[in-house]
């Protein structure tokens, strides 16, 4: 079985890749988005009306970049944005700027989530730190009430990636594209029930960089 990591390890490997190796965070985000995009195409989903539900952390940034990749190919895609864009991470703020350049439509109508043919869940990844309530919970309930298939980015939003615990409410995905390594919480019974088919995406983040053949 392939390696699975904790939230702390994911965060440490990300930081090492960005700060010590020097691969820019936006490059990693683009690779995360491309990997997710490829899985959307390969898994043969109905892409007639796609909605990306994104928050303003880096998980949301991955999702906004996926929306752009779809939009550029002529696919009907909208973004349902949760949280305050003024508080977005630098990478996610940049993704929002690019999305605006391409005039990707934003919606504030949860009915568009319910009526989509495919939902991309980019609300929370390994940064989830407390129980989910309010608008975030409403969006997750709408995702789960929709007939559409759902693809989660990195972690089904609401699942604690260390324990598999549901943090109040959690997305039930058909497929999850998780970055670099599987997460130990996704191997628990609840984790598996919520993540569906897990695709592990190589985005250039490795647990060890002292591979002799790599340097």
Residues that bind K ion (CB under 5 A): 59, 121, 152-153, 157
Between CA 200 and CA 88, with CA 14 as vertex, the angle to 5 degrees is 100
**Which listed range, 41-49, 50-58, 69-77, 108-116, lies at the site for ligand LP7C6HRI (CB under 6 A)?**
50-58
- Count of H helices and E strands in the chain? 7, 9
CA dihedral 83, 136, 127, 171 (to 10 degrees): -140
Q: Which of 154, 159, 164, 166 binds ligand LP7C6HRI (CB under 6 A)?
A: 154
**Nearer to ligand LP7C6HRI among residue 18 and residue 49 (C-beta):** 18
Give the burial class of 194: count Cβ atoms within 10 A of its Cβ; 0-12 exposed, 13-18 middle, 19 or more buried: buried
Terminal-residue alpha carbon distance, the chain: 27
Which residue's Cβ has the minimum distance to K ion?
157
Size of the residue set binding ligand LP7C6HRI (CB under 6 A): 26
Backbone φ, ψ for residue 59 (5° rounding): -60, -45
Task: Write out the residues near ligand LP7C6HRI by the rule CB under 6 A.
Answer: 14, 18, 25, 28-29, 32, 55, 57-60, 62, 89, 124-132, 136, 153-154, 179
Binding-site residues for (6S)-NADPHX, in ranges, read: 58-62, 125-131, 154
């Amino acid at each position: 079985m392939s390696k699975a990591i904790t939230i702390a390890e994911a965060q440490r490997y990300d930081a090492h890749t960005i700060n010590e190796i020097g691969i820019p965070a936006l490059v990693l985000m683009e690779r995360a988005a491309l990997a997710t995009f490829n899985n959307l195409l390969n898994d043969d989903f109905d892409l007639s009306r796609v909605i990306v539900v994104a928050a303003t952390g880096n998980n949301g940034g991955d999702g906004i970049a996926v929306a752009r990749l779809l939009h550029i190919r002529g696919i009907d895609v909208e973004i349902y944005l949760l949280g305050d864009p003024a508080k977005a991470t630098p990478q996610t703020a940049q993704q929002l700027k690019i999305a605006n350049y391409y005039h990707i439509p934003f919606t504030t109508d949860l009915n568009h989530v319910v009526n989509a043919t495919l939902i991309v869940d980019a609300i929370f990844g390994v940064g989830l730190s407390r129980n989910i309530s309010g608008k975030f919970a409403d969006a997750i309930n709408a995702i789960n009430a929709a007939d559409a298939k759902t693809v989660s980015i990195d972690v089904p939003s609401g699942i604690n990636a260390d324990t598999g615990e549901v943090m109040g409410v959690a997305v039930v995905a058909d497929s999850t594209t998780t970055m670099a390594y599987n997460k130990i919480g996704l191997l628990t019974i609840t984790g598996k029930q919520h993540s569906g088919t897990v695709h592990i995406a190589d985005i250039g983040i490795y647990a060890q960089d002292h591979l002799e053949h790599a340097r």
